[in-house]
Structure 1
Amino acid sequence: MPGLLRSASACALLLVLVLTAAPARAQVSPEEILNPELKQLERNYFQQLKALNREVAAINFPFPFLLSRQVGLEPKDQGEGDKRGLEFVKFHDRVVLKVTGNYNAAYNADALSQNQRADRTFREVVVPILKLVAKDIPPDVACHAIGFEIAHHVRRRTSNSDYEGKEILVVVLDTADAFRYNGVESDAGRQAILNRSEIYLNGKEFGLAQGQAEPVDLEARGKPVFGPGAPANPAGSNGVHVSQSTLPPNFRIPPAGTDAPRTDSVPPGTVEAAPAAVKANPEPPAAAATATQADADQLQAKYQKKLDALGKEGAANLHFVDYVAPSFVIFRNRVYLQITVRNPRVFDAHAGSIYKRAAQSFDLFLGGQLKDIVARLPADEQIEGLDVTLLNQFSGKPAGPSVSAAAREAIEFALPLKVLRQFLDADITNQQLLDQSIVLVNGVRIALNLQQVE
């Protein structure tokens, strides 16, 4: 597990160097585009695209994200790559405003399903950018759709080693849906938008399901947005039709009937083991009934005003991030309230371990916030637990050029409310609470012994 985190931290550090050393972000020039229709669009919206480029670069994503005209680049190569990841392209005979980039999150395939990995990248990258698109681009923009092509990292453990590869998520939303997505209050409404959008994972059509382990069944969601008569080869901004093998910087979508996944990978790396004396966390106690996304949606609608108030109060006084609103999610078939907070403490990137940072983050920060958070939760027995994503920030002087690192790591605490209230009433210790909870660092589950890591 630490090996995966070390990989993610290395990605973050490299991206800091890239972003610090890179010149000011530019935008694809209309003069570079040969297709007359796309050239005119680029010219008409050039200033808005430049503004959008700058604002995307300013977003504090949970992990480093860099716009790029080519997805799947290794962090060491991203500094030399073309960072102009916003452009108008032709796809399925439609004009698409396309956002392309590399998200340097490394998901553990043993801990997160394919749908969960895609869902996290969608929520953590696509949704915040959609907000900026609606802000910077006029709603009557002369294109049919807003598209995203985002690569993230995936690690898989075998009996002998760990392998790291990539997954590429493609989401193409009709322009009207893209502009309304963040204004839709219910998860059911947002899921309906995804169900009628074009979504691909590693080149295969994919039914992205929000907050679920498994994707939406493609047959069950209704007829596809585009039938088999859709063009297999989109035209790029140079005005020529391209083959699938040379599709970047356009979408990597295979012709109809192709079902072979991408096989991007890197040589195996090593993974350090957790401290030997640390025991695995037991599973949280099971509730009587299995919850569904419909249950979460009903609770969301029922308590939306209270959650809005919690989000405002949390952003003002409890270190909530302002770009992820509190929401009900399904975790292990139970309803949890999910919130995201930012740890005000800044850690030295080269001091301590993930276990020590997780312990200090809980004991010195989150533990003291939980009483105020729980006091503001809706009183409803359907709510099984609190899912807190805590963002740690780093500073320090990395090896190499004299620049400061500014990476982050995400620690997720899935805390059953029953034992959480026992902890707040001083009936159990912090260790007993964590022993009955689930702790993940950058999507990887860890065992956390608070005394041992000190």
Structure 2
Amino acid sequence: MGLIAAGSAFGQVLSPPEIRDPRLRELQQKHLPDLERVAAEIAAHSFPYRLYFSRTLDLNEDQQRRSDQRSIRFDTFHDQTVLEITANYYASYSAELMPREERASRTLADVITPMLKAAIPALANEVKVQSFAVEISHHVRRKVLGVSHESPENIAFVLSSRGARQLMAATTPGEQEAALMQGQLFVNRQLIAGWGENDLSSTAERSATLAAAKVAGPWNGTLPPALGEMRRAAVTALPTKTPARVATQAHPEISSDALRSLQGAHQADLDRLVRELDQQAHFIAYAAPTFIAFRNGVYLQLSMKTMLSEAATVSQYQAAALAFDEHIAHLIRPVLAALKGRPDFDGIDFSTSVRVAGAPEGSGTAVEFIFTADNLSNYRNFDLTGQELIKTGVVLINGERVGLELQYAEDGLARPH
């Protein structure tokens, strides 16, 4: 589901007269119907968060709606003719939970790959197109001196025609990954190591080309010498949480006032929850249940203690797995019952300090299990196992995200994360 921002597919494709290079202008004119079909197919795709075609990156949504959204065009990159698509993607990633490479890979999978699969077949017989280039601006949340800050991060991906053919021929996830690895993946103009080392020119040369690109002003009809030469606006984008195609609706930022309002509306239920479940949950007295903003949503954070009877030598992965199996899993249904069914917020953060019997004071492990309300409801209704619920959520150990396999962890064979 979703909407295209400017209405028609033609509104996403650059007009041929605006391109000064005769060779590129001729290609744009020749393939104008093809590019319109590409725009329509991309607009019909359901992205996890709202996305706008744009010739200017790093805009907030209000600015984006007023800006030129014609971004599909032929261009040049490193002396090659490329089909280029640029867009603003209103996803907001946590720098603490997702490292740079993981953020880039997520946007590559969720946004860039569907765009490539729409564009490549349309130009399969055009020998003049040597590569496909997509540049996407998403957003990253960080804490600076304890204050949350959100800023844009730009992802660029360049795939040669050879890699494009392999991508379209791929029939398994492994084959698709091998094809994509032939491309160059950039984060803020820096090439990520291991990508595209055998494709196009040398890694060092391409990296130098991007680093030397100048920040351009508004489009003046001339072509930039390198991918990514778009005007960067010093603004903070507003995150969204509703899956959509290229969209027009804004989702308001989650404010502290909104969290306080929700807290007040649920305070009576939360007080009752603590009274009824404290003996089982072992809530921390000085950390009452509270609503927090997480991943563009509102989550109820429940802070508690977990005491394990196992030997003090268990690993942190074993401690986390045992905490879930012996404590958290048994709380989910009572908590949902105390909240009177499916919560009217996005999910619950079960935050626990895990202590092992016999361990020295202060040696506890901080573990958080963060699940959406929908997945918690599915678990309550026995539609998900505990392991399946774990896989749908986020698990943090001492503030670091991990992948947790319950059986392997409890056997002391935790997989790499």
* 8 A contact 1:204–1:253 mirrored in 2: no
Is 2:239 aligned against 1:226?
Answer: no
List aligned pairs for 1:336-415, cutoff 5 A: 352-355=344-347, 360-365=373-378, 368=381, 370=383, 387-388=391-392
* 8 A contact 2:137–2:155 mirrored in 1: yes
Give the SS at the match of 1:244: coil
Is 2:46 aligned against 1:48?
Answer: no
**Which one has a bigger Cα radius of gyration?**
2
Q: TM-score, normalised by structure 2?
A: 0.56
* 8 A contact 2:376–2:389 mirrored in 1: no
Identity %: 23
Q: Distance in 1 between matches of 2:188 and 2:44?
A: 28
Aligned length: 286
User: Which amino acid in structure 1 is aligned with residue 344 of structure 2?
Assistant: G
Q: Distance in 1 between matches of 2:174 and 2:217?
A: 34
Q: Output the aligned Cα RMSD.
A: 4.5
Give the SS at the match of 2:73: strand
Q: Distance in 1 between matches of 2:407 and 2:207?
A: 55
User: Which amino acid in structure 2 is aligned with residue 204 of structure 1?
Assistant: Q
Partner of 1:166: 152
Partner of 2:135: 149
* 8 A contact 1:233–1:244 mirrored in 2: no
* 8 A contact 2:75–2:84 mirrored in 1: yes
Give the SS at the match of 2:36: helix
Q: Distance in 1 between matches of 2:152 and 2:86?
A: 15
Partner of 1:285: 318
* 8 A contact 2:139–2:237 mirrored in 1: no
Give the SS at the match of 1:152: strand
- Once the two structures are superposed, residues 165-197 of structure 1 have per-residue CA deviations (whole angstroms, 9 ceiling, x without a partner) of 111011110012123215335555445444442
List aligned pairs for 1:214-253, cutoff 5 A: 216=194, 222=197, 225-227=200-202, 244-246=214-216, 250=224, 251-252=226-227
Q: Distance in 1 between matches of 2:40 and 2:305?
A: 43
* 8 A contact 1:126–1:148 mirrored in 2: yes
Could you tell me how far 1:243 is from its partner in structure 2?
6.0
- Once the two structures are superposed, residues 146-175 of structure 1 have per-residue CA deviations (whole angstroms, 9 ceiling, x without a partner) of 011011000001343111111101111001
User: Which amino acid in structure 1 is aligned with residue 22 of structure 2?
Assistant: P
Could you tell me how far 1:369 is from its partner in structure 2?
7.2
Q: 1:66 to 1:161 in 2, by over 3 A?
A: same
User: Which amino acid in structure 2 is aligned with residue 109 of structure 1?
Assistant: A
Could you tell me how far 1:353 is from its partner in structure 2?
2.3
Ranges in structure 2 where 5+ consecutive residues have no aligned partner? 239-252, 260-290, 293-298, 307-315, 321-342, 350-370, 395-400, 409-417
- Once the two structures are superposed, residues 247-285 of structure 1 have per-residue CA deviations (whole angstroms, 9 ceiling, x without a partner) of 88755569xxxxxxx996649997766388612799653
* 8 A contact 2:54–2:69 mirrored in 1: yes
Could you tell me how far 1:67 is from its partner in structure 2?
1.2
List aligned pairs for 1:98-247, cutoff 5 A: 98-185=84-171, 189-207=175-193, 216=194, 222=197, 225-227=200-202, 244-246=214-216
Q: Distance in 2 between matches of 1:30 and 1:276?
A: 52
Is 2:8 aligned against 1:24?
Answer: yes
Partner of 1:36: 22
* 8 A contact 2:152–2:237 mirrored in 1: no
Ranges in structure 1 where 5+ consecutive residues have no aligned partner? 1-14, 208-215, 235-241, 255-261, 288-350, 375-382, 391-411, 420-454
- Once the two structures are superposed, residues 97-152 of structure 1 have per-residue CA deviations (whole angstroms, 9 ceiling, x without a partner) of 01110111000000100001001000000111222123433344521000110110
Q: 1:127 to 1:247 in 2, by over 3 A?
A: farther
Q: Distance in 2 between matches of 1:281 and 1:179?
A: 54
Partner of 2:312: none
* 8 A contact 1:64–1:105 mirrored in 2: yes
Could you tell me how far 1:87 is from its partner in structure 2?
0.5
User: Which amino acid in structure 2 is aligned with residue 387 of structure 1?
Assistant: K
